[in-house]
Structure 1
Amino acid sequence: MPIAEGAEFAGYRIVRRLGSGGMGEVYLVQHPRLPRLEALKVLPANVSADPEFRQRFEREADVAASLWHPHIVSVHDRGEHDGQLWITMDYVDGTDVVRLLRERYPGGMPANEALEIISAVAEALDYAYERQLLHRDVKPANILVAESRSARRIALADFGIAKMANETHGLTATNMTIGSVAYAAPEQLTGAHLDGRADQYALACTAFHMLTGRPPFADQNPAAVIGKQLSEPPPPLGGLRPDLVSMEPVLARAMAKDPVQRFGSCREFAAALRLGASRPGQNRWRPPARLRPHSRRPRRHPRRRRPRHRHPRHRRPGFRRGPTRRGRRTAHRRRGWRPSWASGSRLCWRWSWSCSSVSA
């Protein structure tokens, strides 16, 4: 049951309801002691009694509280009130990407604005993965954008199903009921081992949604969406946005079914996407050398080339080089000269009458 406006919950005064997420409802509340507004997330009573969901909710607070990044929503406090678990976090006075697409860009965002959001989320995901944390629920609804006159803040929210990168047990049976299957990686749908490339896949699906206005695998039936995620290749971006055809190979690589074929990090994916956007009209993209593993070819031993001119005077215009030794020998024979050793050990050329008479 929603909490009424003006009521108090765990010492916080409810201002209004902001929305509902996968694990509860979110309210805008007034801090009991500080003059600031915060976002209060409350888990329903029937779910709070479930030990598995209670473990998940408590871990969300612990995981999110250990992160501090300008593009991650920070956690302030957590607790329990009347059998309901709650957590308070930063209030981002803005909107999410889903509402932004619906109200401003129904056909897809401009490339520069989408790249700004993707780069910010990529920084946040790599920051969390460097601390052995996975988000596992990256989607447009969890990306918040707050605009003001001086600055623009982009924040990734809802680490509700965040997971330690080295965690291999527990809390796997209900992941897909909470996370969004339209953006989940194939290895996440099949229960395989996960790493940072799973969040990269979800970020690539989110980027496709932001650029085209629709998810890459859209269907009313969740089972059909799962089947497409596991078997079908990603739809071509150029079919919906011909002006962004140069970014199509980048998205195809980040949305590869095999995690080994994806980029090494979300930062590399964002950098490649920016590079592809800088080359409009080119559908053949090749990553730069710093993004290609083993990109340098083995160098051959440099062949020692003989200098073309041995002396600077040979470069003078109109100067003609003299004949070689072989050329001089041929010229002497044509004139009737024959080699002779009469002058000692040095080879000399003498006139031969027989040779001249034969030639005559």
Structure 2
Amino acid sequence: MSQLTEQSVLDALSQIEDPDLHKDIVTLGFIKDLKIEGGHVSFRIVLTTPACPVKEQMETAARELVGRLAGVESVHVKMDAEVPKGRGLADKVSVPGVRNIVAVSSGKGGVGKSTVAVNMAVSLALDGARVGLMDADVYGPNVPLMLGAGNARPEIDGNKLVPIEAYGVRLMSMAILKPGDEPLIVRGPILHGLVKQFLSDVRWGELDYLIVDMPPGTGDVQLSLAQLVPVQGAVLVTTPQEVAVSDVRRALRMFETVAVPILGVVENMSYFVAPDTGTRYDIFGAGGGQRLAEQYHVPFLGAVPLGMEVREGGDSGVPVVVGQPDSPQAQAFRRVAEEVARQVSIEAMKPELVVLGKAR
């Protein structure tokens, strides 16, 4: 009868492959705290994101494979996650405690970019990630309203602003620093300074993801963010119609110019299903986001249908992923968040390339 050893357990677990990183979970170093006490085996599987869509399948496979070994009486598997710190250019200054910065951008306004950013951030927090949301849309900072925090004011700890928190997400926005309806009229260097302050003068704490809701277009804020800190990647939001898609193409090329990876494309307001008849209507056309992703060989992160639930959630300050979690819109946002987390992990786990003294 063969003896139960750590190596025999690891050999069994090496049959499980991460579908994104294309290596087995033992080689990737995911197995932690392996213990064998008589016939009782316990270990942790530490994934690269708490939003992993296949963690339940991995847990089941691990329990079954180890359970088949001779001498095993019980198997205890704990699923855990440690989000890897994103790579970045060597001349960029990281934000203390922040592991990955993700920009959410669009080429034009009116495509629901902030809605996507808010529901994506809250979805990641619901999955157990530590999430911050920086509202860099200084001309239309409405994220606090969408999170029910429109009247909140940040505290000051020493010389740092403390983010307000809503639904497990740490938030900073110009709307909570400059309340009221007065417009903010700033350009160029002042905008650069505002972005820098939001990054360096805010006590973000330990975050797995800092989601940055960008203003629409390809202007100063986008360039400032790319110049100041290592952005792990950009999520591009569009509607299916060509007018929106053509603007997103410009945003995509802008991020490529400043060496920010494209994590993928989200098609928002993708279609509408009439609640009384179940008939689907492609109000803004069909498939524009997916065609864009295919054209530029970037991931398609998902399609989010139109629905009153999303608008009602934004107006009431209760995001649809919280207020109506079983709705098709909420489920679509949860899948988008999972896909974004996957792409961040894939980017972070890529080997670094050193070019002209800079890590890529």
TM-score higher than 0.5 here? no
Structure number with higher relative contact order (C-alpha < 8 Å, ≥ 6 residues apart): 2
Q: TM-score, with normalisation over the residues of structure 2?
A: 0.21
Higher-Rg structure is 1
Q: TM-score, with normalisation over the residues of structure 1?
A: 0.21
